[in-house]
Amino acid sequence: MALKNFAFKILNKDKFARRGQIETHRGIINTPTFMPVGTQATVKACTIDDIRKTGSEIILSNTYHLMIRPGIDRIMSAGGLHNFMNCNLPILTDSGGFQVMSLSKLNKIDREKGAIFSSHVDGKKFFLSPEESIRIQLGLNSDIVMIMDECPRKSDDYDLIKKSMELSVYWAKRSKKAFGKNPHKALFGIIQGGLFNDLRKESLSELMKIGFDGYAMGGLAVGESQEEMFTVLDNIKETLPDEKPHYLMGVGTPSDILGAVKRGIDMFDCVLPTRSGRTGLAFTWNGRVNIKNNKYQRDNDPLDPNCKNLNLNKYSKNYLNHLFNTNEILASMLLTLHNINFYQELMSAIRKNISNGTFDQFHDKYIDKL
């Protein structure tokens, strides 16, 4: 069977909220979608089969971490990332720019060479240029490839953010050239500009001149408030190209997602559901639950009576509390899976309400609850 080209179509709109489909040769991705994070070729504490059972249709993995361990050559020898991790879902790979900023205490940005940094694992020096980032992602056989960008920390320094944005545009041009013609894959541009509306619009304008299969909002989830993030999205929502998917990188909480969908975002990823699951925090339709709290020691009700999938309700809060307080591995497994399942139930409900024209009511009901 011939491979399908990457494509995106909008099925329904409710004001700026959009329900759509991304078509890849590995399958259809219904949007708005949430991508569980498989940073190191695994979604922590979960099997790929369980991830699929939650309704997840795409996962995210990371160029920076896989470049360091186990290394691109080792993954290529296995036939690419999908074969390596036994995953037949589409995979999006981050370019590594965010991790260069967040993990390395010793890094230098060079306009031509890219990011020069020391590994957070063993201190080994690496060079990550736009061309090298694209080469690695194509070697991983990613379905959606992200351009190499510079992701600055939150700053009120306009000149600093402008310089960083302009560098990201330059790297975007080089990323596009290095990507070449790969009709069965997609290349997304990353909009930078911090909290400055004019810089965000300038970044998007320059990226649209280059031309990408999708457009991501980068440089958020770096310490700004939710209100600041929503303001950035409000200021650019009418400018984002309607015919392309819109991706908000590294976000976020359920209320972040609800507010961003209202402002035209189609794709999300975040480590929050998996990281929270490993530390005892559960997301439910009735709000958040810290299962380690002593008040659950004699609570034999399920974690979330509204949970519909995976028979997760056969485990009581009493039992889960016991697992966490005895440091049992099963605790992380069950709560992580519960959280990913909840996120996918949330995305499904969002899509349904957009189709029904009731998204605003759904948003207002849950924005302060979740």
The domain spanning residue 223 has which CATH number? 3.20.20.105
Instruction: For residue 322, tell me if it sits in a domain.
Output: no
Tokens found for residue 8: 């995106």
pLDDT for position 115: 86
Cα separation, 270 vs 324, whole angstroms: 23
Domain hosting 92: range is 7-270
Picking from 276, 321, 214, the residue whose alpha carbon sits closest to that of residue 36 is 276
Long-range pairs for 236-242: beta carbons < 8 A, 24 or more residues apart: 236/191, 236/197, 236/200, 236/201, 236/204, 237/16, 237/263, 237/264, 239/201, 239/204, 240/204, 240/215, 240/264, 241/208, 241/215, 242/10
Phi-psi region of 100 (alpha: psi -120 to 50; beta: other; left: phi over 0): alpha
Cα separation, 253 vs 276, whole angstroms: 11
Those residues with Cβ within 8 angstroms of residue 275's Cβ, 6 or more apart along the chain or in another chain: none
Active site residue 304: no
Instruction: For residue 41, tell me if it sits in a domain.
Output: yes
Encode 331-353: b = buried (16+ Cβ within 10 Å), e = exposed: bbbbbbbbbbbbbbbbbeebbeb
Q: What count of other Cβ atoms lies within 10 Å of the Cβ of residue 202?
A: 18
Instruction: Give phi and psi for 74, each to the nearest 5.
Output: -65, -40
Asked whether 244 and 12 are in contact (CB, 8 A), the reply is no
pLDDT for position 343: 98
Query: Within the chain, what is the greatest distance between any pair of CA atoms?
Result: 61
Out of 143, 149, 266, 269, pick the active-site residue. 269
Instruction: For residue 224, tell me if it sits in a domain.
Output: yes
How many domains are there within the chain? Answer: 1
Cα separation, 210 vs 283, whole angstroms: 40
Encode 162-176: b = buried (16+ Cβ within 10 Å), e = exposed: bebbbbbbebbebbb
Asked whether 100 and 64 are in contact (CB, 8 A), the reply is yes
Instruction: For residue 356, tell me if it sits in a domain.
Output: no
pLDDT for position 1: 54
Picking from 345, 344, 320, the residue whose alpha carbon sits closest to that of residue 334 is 320
* Residue 313 DSSP one-character state: G
Instruction: For residue 324, tell me if it sits in a domain.
Output: no
Instruction: Give phi and psi for 225, each to the nearest 5.
Output: -75, 165
Out of 94, 149, 256, 304, pick the active-site residue. 94
pLDDT for position 106: 66
Instruction: For residue 154, tell me if it sits in a domain.
Output: yes
Give, in order, the Cα–Cα distances in Å from 263 to each of 13, 166, 239. 11, 25, 11
For each of the chain's 370 residues, which pLDDT tens digit applies?
577 899 999 999 999 999 999 999 999 999 999 999 999 999 999 999 999 999 999 999 999 899 999 999 999 999 999 999 999 999 999 987 777 666 656 678 889 998 888 777 888 888 899 999 999 999 999 999 999 999 888 999 999 999 999 999 999 999 999 999 998 999 999 999 999 999 999 999 999 999 999 999 999 988 899 999 999 999 999 999 999 999 999 999 999 999 999 999 999 999 999 999 999 999 999 999 999 999 999 999 999 988 877 788 899 999 999 999 999 999 999 999 999 999 999 999 999 999 999 999 999 999 999 9
Instruction: For residue 226, tell me if it sits in a domain.
Output: yes
The one-letter code for the residue type at 159 is D
Active site residue 269: yes
Cα separation, 230 vs 344, whole angstroms: 22
Tell me which residue has tokens 């303001």. Answer: 231
Instruction: For residue 83, tell me if it sits in a domain.
Output: yes
pLDDT for position 103: 61
Encode 252-286: b = buried (16+ Cβ within 10 Å), e = exposed: bbbebbbbbbbbbbbbbbbebbbebbbebbbbbbe
Asked whether 57 and 30 are in contact (CB, 8 A), the reply is yes
